[in-house]
Amino acid sequence: MTAHPQPAPPPEPEPEPRLPDWRRNLAVLWVAQFTAILGFAFAFPFLPLYLKDLGVHRQDQLAFFSGLAGGASGLALMVASPLWGIVADRYGRKSMLVRAMIGGAVTLTLLGFARGPGDVIVLRFLQGASSGTVGAATALVATGTPRARVGWALGVLTSAVAVGSAMGPFLGGIAAGQLGLRAVFWVGGGMLALAALGAALLIRETMVPRSTAKAGTALTTLRQSGPHALAAIGALLICQAILQTAYSGFSPLLVLKLLTVIPSGAATITGVAFGISGLSSAAAAVLYAPFARRLGYRRLAVVTALGVGAGLALAGLGTMAWTMVLSAGFLGLMFGATSPALSAMLGLEVPASIQARIFGFSSSATALGFALGPLGGGSIAARWGPSTGLLCLAGATLLLAAVLVARVREPAR
């Protein structure tokens, strides 16, 4: 009989640095992260069209190069994130956030000068290796916010990502029609440069003094922080990878499903569906914290993970456009609560002295899911159709809920 994970014991007290005005920092971070994600989302949805402009006309080649460009970024991010996390724990989370935004600004701008698909793939790889703003911002919020408000603060930060992701494609589409595709990448790069400037000038960070950090490796620090901490963190990283796999696989499969349901109006309905999904995700990320305090993070994450699965199943079984829009909105709502709940549990489990390092691994787990979702879902859809792919992704959320129940504990707050 499998024993349920025990609730986390109160963490061994660390000397708590005096925090700067964390609410002010959070407001600045929200604007900076929204601007950065808006810049990315302003340009990247149009990569297939850009590749077509660069001379890739055959449909099979376009699919191949589009997938390769996306996979290159995810692979580089997966490998680089833990390394940047180690640097952040040593030199500061703010500097890593600014570095990530500058890396995104440079690579996005250079993409506007690409001469062929090879340039696009190389620059996407460099973008993944040099950016990673979400992980850097998450670590900064987790270490700079009082423990009792970490969950709410991470939800607010997630809402910036959701709103930026929802508005970016819409505004980028307008700009592409007026200015051309190359200009879209230049404008997106400019947005990231502005985000980096704001973060550098306005964010205040109090470093965890080195004398207060426990000696040894991150592994040693986790073992010293209490029994089962390492297992709980490993389980949470697995949960983040599964959640991102399901969520990332949804977008391309929904487009394929819409092409079978309403071939002539798929583009319009796709924009509506993704816009509603992003806005509902942002609302959930801000509003989930009171439910987490009442139910507990773990129980809430189980319920909302099953809700993500229900949204995927509705999209897979639906046969009309309105069901696709409804499924996207519901999925965004459930994902918007699940994602920050997992991040909050991770932040509450990890000692402050190594949080950036662990959130680097969190970014790697998310990047793995970002690559696996479209690849796995697309492979299934190519053989059995998009509906089957969506239902398989729904099945993955059952595994997510099972891991949460069996291996994750409610962290001390």
What domains sit in the chain, N to C, each tagged with a CATH number? 20-203 (1.20.1250.20), 217-413 (1.20.1250.20)
Record the tokens describing residue 369, joined without a space: 């899911």
| CB contact at 8 A, 31 and 198 | yes
Its sign, for the CA torsion 45, 48, 49, 50, is positive
Q: What is the pLDDT of residue 13?
A: 45
* C-alpha to C-alpha distance for 204 and 146, rounded to whole angstroms: 15
Q: What is the pLDDT of residue 266?
A: 63
Record the tokens describing residue 274, joined without a space: 């993704």
Sort 6 into a burial class: Cβ within 10 Å, 0-12 / 13-18 / 19+: exposed
* C-alpha to C-alpha distance for 78 and 284, rounded to whole angstroms: 27
Q: What is the pLDDT of residue 209?
A: 47
Q: What is the pLDDT of residue 413?
A: 63
Blockwise average pLDDT, block size 10, the chain, 413 residues: 51 49 89 94 77 77 70 80 79 88 95 92 90 83 80 84 83 82 93 95 71 51 65 92 92 78 71 83 88 91 97 93 92 94 87 75 86 80 85 96 93 71
Q: What is the pLDDT of residue 316?
A: 93
Q: What is the pLDDT of residue 54?
A: 87
Q: Which residues of 265-287 are buried (b: 16+ CB within 10 A; e: fewer)?
A: ebeebbebbbbbbbbbbbbbbbe
What global pTM score does this model have?
0.75
Record the tokens describing residue 225, joined without a space: 């922080």
| Cα angle 355, 350, 401; round to 5 | 115
Q: What is the pLDDT of residue 265?
A: 65
